[in-house]
């Protein structure tokens, strides 16, 4: 078994090293990895990273619970919002998925969040909202190839 060996993990780089070691050690043994990650969560000073990493070793319901905890501990981490939005889209809850991304975009209007929300808007047929997100994302990185492709595709459908 992988053991960090320390009572409390204070150094974020050391925590990431422990997390990566656990991830590598138990790549195909998710139950054991989940248990090891649980031990690291108990030792970690900044638990949000550990919960986020442990979410990779869970079924969907446990993943959702871990990511809810991440959001409670550090509401400015965007990965949980993206994950929840993807799950909502898988469940054909497009409006809820867009709302979830919007919650994250309020505090971090990064390219990936805007790109994902633009794609969701395109999927729902909301061309104007998709174009708005495309343009906002391109203001962050005007040369982003995938964003340019999405913008051109959506722009061709503009009324």
CA distance 78 to 84: 10
CB neighbour list of residue 105: distance below 8 Å, 6 or more residues apart: 113, 114, 117
Query: Whole-model pTM?
Result: 0.75
The whole-number pLDDT of residue 7 equals: 47
pLDDT tens by residue, 113-151? 999 999 999 999 999 999 999 999 999 999 999 999 999
The whole-number pLDDT of residue 10 equals: 53
The whole-number pLDDT of residue 88 equals: 94
The whole-number pLDDT of residue 46 equals: 86
The whole-number pLDDT of residue 19 equals: 63
Dihedral, 77, 78, 80, 85 alpha carbons, nearest 10: 160
Phi, psi of 9 (to 5 degrees): -95, 110
CA distance 20 to 5: 15
The whole-number pLDDT of residue 3 equals: 45
Helix, coil or strand: residue 86: helix
Averaged pLDDT, groups of 10, the chain, 159 residues long: 47 62 61 85 89 88 94 96 94 96 95 96 96 96 96 86
| Helix axes of 111-124 and 94-107: crossing angle, nearest 10 degrees | 160
The whole-number pLDDT of residue 31 equals: 81
């Amino acid at each position: 078994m992988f053991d960090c060996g320390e009572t409390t993990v204070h150094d974020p780089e050391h925590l990431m090293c422990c997390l990566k070691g656990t991830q590598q050690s138990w790549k195909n043994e998710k139950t054991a990895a989940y248990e090891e990650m649980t031990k690291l969560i108990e030792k970690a000073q900044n638990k949000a990273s550990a919960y986020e990493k442990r979410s990779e070793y869970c079924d969907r319901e446990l993943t959702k619970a871990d990511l809810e905890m991440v959001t409670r501990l550090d509401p400015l981490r965007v990965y949980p919002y993206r994950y929840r939005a993807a799950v909502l889209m898988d469940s054909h809850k497009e409006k809820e998925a867009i709302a979830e991304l919007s919650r994250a975009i309020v505090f971090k209007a990064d390219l990936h969040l805007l790109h994902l929300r633009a794609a969701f808007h395109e999927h729902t047929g909301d061309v104007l909202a998709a174009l708005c997100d495309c343009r906002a994302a391109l203001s962050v990185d005007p040369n982003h190839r995938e964003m340019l492709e999405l913008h051109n595709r959506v722009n061709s459908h503009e009324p």
